[in-house]
Amino acid sequence: MAPQIDPSDMEAIRAAGITRILCNRPDAEVPPSHQAAAIRAAAEAAGIGFALQPLTHQTMVPEVIGQNRALGADTDDVVLAYCASGTRSTIAWALGQAGQMPAEEIVAAARAGGYDISNIRPALDAPFT
């Protein structure tokens, strides 16, 4: 998970082994230079796959979380999901992992990435449905 990325970040992203970028940030939150089309073009030019699943707090419903998981965790790619700060992407990943791995491991993995999601711990004890 990551905060907003820049088109100029693609070489470093590819060098880090990322094979797909998952944009969770709605275009309305950013200027045209950082909207999905600009990031997609830069990613694809660098040989990195790109997927789009804009998230807001209101759209984090089971169906959307399932789609997000299908675009990220359920692929064979090494995926970098991003949004404004990385928090929404982390929460979406965590909810998608609910029922797949123990809640404590989900919280610990997020913490290792710099995100404290302990406040959603109760929601991670069962599949997000």
Residue 98 clears pLDDT 80, i.e. is over it: yes
Which pair of structure tokens corresponds to residue 72? 């990220």
Place of tokens 């970040």: 9
pLDDT band at 129 (very low <50, low <70, confident <90, very high): low
- Asked whether 48 and 13 are in contact (CB, 8 A), the reply is yes
Q: What pLDDT is stored for residue 91 in this prediction?
A: 96
Residue 127 has what pLDDT?
A: 78
pTM of the predicted protein model: 0.93
Residues 6+ apart with CB under 8 A from 50: 20, 21, 23, 36, 39, 40, 43, 44
Domains of the chain: 7-124 (3.90.190.10)
Q: What is the pLDDT of residues 13-70, one digit of tens each?
A: 999 999 999 999 999 999 999 999 999 999 999 999 999 999 998 999 999 999 999 9
For residue 114, what pLDDT is reported? Answer: 96
What is 24-86 written as a DSSP string?
-S-GGGS-GGGSHHHHHHHHHHTT-EEEE----GGG-SHHHHHHHHHHTTTSSS-EEEE-SSS
